[in-house]
Structures are given as structure tokens and as C-alpha cells.
Amino acid sequence: MTDKMVIDHVGIATDDLDDLSELYTELFGAEIAHTETFDGMNVEFLAVGDAYFELLEPLESTGAIASYLDGNGPGLHHVAVATDDIEAALAGAAEMGVDLIDEEPREGAWGHDVAFLHPKSTGGILFEFVEH
């Protein structure tokens, strides 16, 4: 595989970003590090130690996060791990037999390159590789 990776952020689907952001800033002492509107959602990164909570609020009734909320309700959406070489991380995962959602990196929130691994290959968790 590649060098040791670290958790970059935990993606959390919500239908009320403002309320959840307020709760997490008060409860965990988190600080707002970045906000943007991206791919039909409001996205906010809250800094907690060396990682982030990424709050994802859909702006439309369609799209990945809206569908997730419809099927599961608010909560943990994905775990992102940082890598220095996303292409090598994807190749290593594929060699291990992990099903890839993204065979090539794509642009994600905050302008980072991202790629997702299918949860059926990773113990039921949607994992994201992120390269800054």
C-alpha cells in the first residue's frame, strides 16, 4: 500500500447544518475552518484536533447526501483518510480486491482530490481517500 495514513475528517450528513455546527462547536470546542457550497450541498469543516468534522447538508432533494438522508436519516456518512499519493492508494486498494467507487481521483470539497471506496468491501463503512 502507501505510507501510513491518518484520519482527515469524518463526514456527517445533516438536514440542519447550522444547528449541528452550533452543537459541535459548543460540545467539542470545534472551530469552523472552512465553509462552501459544493455539488448541491452546504459543506462545513469543523476543526477538532488534527482532524475535521465535515458537515454535509443537501440543498436539493436529489444527490448523494439527500438520498443518504432519505434512507438513513442524519448521521455518519463516511470516514476520510489523508494520503500523500491518492493514485497509489487507489491502486493498492484495487490490488487488495477492494471495490472502488472512484477509479480515478476527482475534485472534492475544499478543492482536494478525493476518491471513495465501496462500503461492501470495507466492512460496511464508506471510506474516502483525500489528497491535499
- Residues 70-83 have pLDDT tens digits of 999 999 999 999 99
CATH label of the domain that carries residue 72:
3.10.180.10
Question: In the chain, how many domains are there?
Answer: 1
Specify if 1 maps to a domain: no
Residue 2 has a pLDDT of 54
Q: Is the pTM above the cut of 0.85?
A: yes
Q: Is the dihedral of CA 45, 47, 72, 78 positive or negative?
A: positive
Domain that holds residue 88: 6-131
CA distances from 92 to 21, 43, 97, 126 (A): 35, 29, 9, 17
